Chains A and B, each alone.
Chain A
Amino acid sequence: MARAQLEKGKIEKWRGEIPIKSLYTAGTAGQIFFKALKEKGEIVGTRCDPCGQVYVPARRFCERCFTELTSEVTVKLEGVVKSFSYSYVDRDGKRLKQPGVSLLVQLEGATTVMLHRLLDAKELSRVAIGSRVKAVIKAKSQRVGSILDIAGFRLLA
């Protein structure tokens, strides 16, 4: 009797969990970028005065000449697609009903590209290198200081 009961309540595993929670700050340059995005709905970068690079999003140091970047620049919400990619699977590898489009966009006034997404997947087939796009900024009440305060980019005709 005891044996059968034990088979039913068989114990094969110890279970455990390691709780690890972490917070990553955006850093001092990220702070400038996200503050402007959240509070003003603007996209801000930093300019390297010696070499003329304008980094968007804002960065603290110039990658080319290692100069500290102190000049903030507000760039336009419009720009050009420099590269793009279709995604047919999500990050778990599941097939997407509607493929997504990742864009590398160079905004007007910037010399670097930033990664974001195409907002309307129906525009997918019309995206090309050189396409003009515009950032769609969420309403102020919905902005939290995240890169998704930019809802995405839409194609300009």
Chain B
Amino acid sequence: MKSMPDSVRGTPVDTKGLARGKIFLTSYAPKLRYAWDTGEAIGRYLAELKEGRLIARSCRKCERVMIPPRMYCERCFRPTDDWVYVKDSGTVNTFSLCYVSWDVRRLKQPEIPAVIEIDGASPGMGILHLLRKVNPKSVHIGMRVAAVWKPPSQRTGSITDIAYWSSMERRLRRKSD
């Protein structure tokens, strides 16, 4: 195949030229804002988080207590029945020690995402959150943990209204202080 003449190859743009305004350009930033409907179950869940509480939804047929709450039981194929408050403590179901951040920077102290089975909900019912202020070496499946909430003024109705989860010992220690 005949090679392309140089003139139709791309022309590189160097960043210095861009920075100095030597290269003529126009900028564009579309405003891509969106709002998703939370739905009934998650709407209530988030509103309760703002109040510093965890709420679940129960199914009278299979007797499961589900968190995050859902309006429909995927096991029984029927609507769920009742709102049930559950505790802000639980048990580590699974976890990971992450030594890189979301933007792939190396971390000295690992971030510890964990699935936490919530006390008062059915076994295996849990939420994904973060463990902090724990010794990474002491984290284990079955570890007892408790939520550490943001102060009420900082809560927005989000899962991050729980700042993080820490060990149950730590909560008990704080209470006894």
Interface of A toward B, CB cutoff 8 Å: 2, 5-6, 9-26, 28, 30-31, 34-35, 38, 68, 145-146
B34 x A22 contact (CB < 8 A): no
A142 to chain B, nearest CB (A): 15
* Known contacts A11-B47, A15-B33: A21-B7 contact under CB 8 Å: no
Residues in B21-66 with C-beta less than 8 Å from chain A: 21, 23-38, 43-44, 46-48, 50-51
B18 x A23 contact (CB < 8 A): yes
Which size bracket describes the interface of B in this complex? 20 to 34
Cα-based distance from A25 to B15 in the complex (angstroms): 12
A22 to chain B, nearest CB (A): 5
A105 to chain B, nearest CB (A): 21
Q: Decide yes or no whether B110 CB sits under 8 A from chain A.
A: no
A14 x B36 contact (CB < 8 A): yes
16 residue pairs A–B, Cβ–Cβ below 8 Å = A5-B51, A6-B48, A6-B51, A10-B43, A11-B43, A11-B157, A12-B38, A13-B36, A13-B37, A13-B38, A14-B35, A14-B36, A16-B33, A22-B27, A25-B24, A34-B24
Cα-based distance from A9 to B31 in the complex (angstroms): 27
* Known contacts A9-B50, A10-B43, A11-B43: A23-B36 contact under CB 8 Å: no
Pick the contact of A20 from B23, B32, B36, B46 — CB < 8 Å? B32
Cα-based distance from A20 to B35 in the complex (angstroms): 17
Q: Report chain A residues within 8 Å CB of B27.
A: 21-24
A48 to chain B, nearest CB (A): 15
Q: Decide yes or no whether B11 CB sits under 8 A from chain A.
A: yes
Nearest B residue (CB) for A25: B25
Pick the contact of B24 from A12, A16, A19, A31 — CB < 8 Å? A31
* Known contacts A12-B38, A28-B11: A21-B24 contact under CB 8 Å: no
Cα-based distance from A116 to B162 in the complex (angstroms): 56
- For the complex of A and B, 3 pairs with smallest distance between CB atoms: A34-B24, A18-B32, A13-B35
A6 x B7 contact (CB < 8 A): no
Cα-based distance from A48 to B28 in the complex (angstroms): 32
Q: Report chain A residues within 8 Å CB of B36.
A: 13-14, 16
Q: Decide yes or no whether B13 CB sits under 8 A from chain A.
A: yes
Pick the contact of B25 from A2, A13, A26 — CB < 8 Å? A26
Among B26, B38, B51, residue most surrounded by chain A Cβ atoms (within 10 Å)? B26
A19 to chain B, nearest CB (A): 8
B164 to chain A, nearest CB (A): 21
Cα-based distance from A26 to B24 in the complex (angstroms): 6
Supplied contacts A14-B36, A17-B32, 6 more A-B pairs, CB within 8 Å: A6-B51, A12-B38, A17-B33, A18-B32, A26-B26, A30-B24
Cα-based distance from A138 to B8 in the complex (angstroms): 34
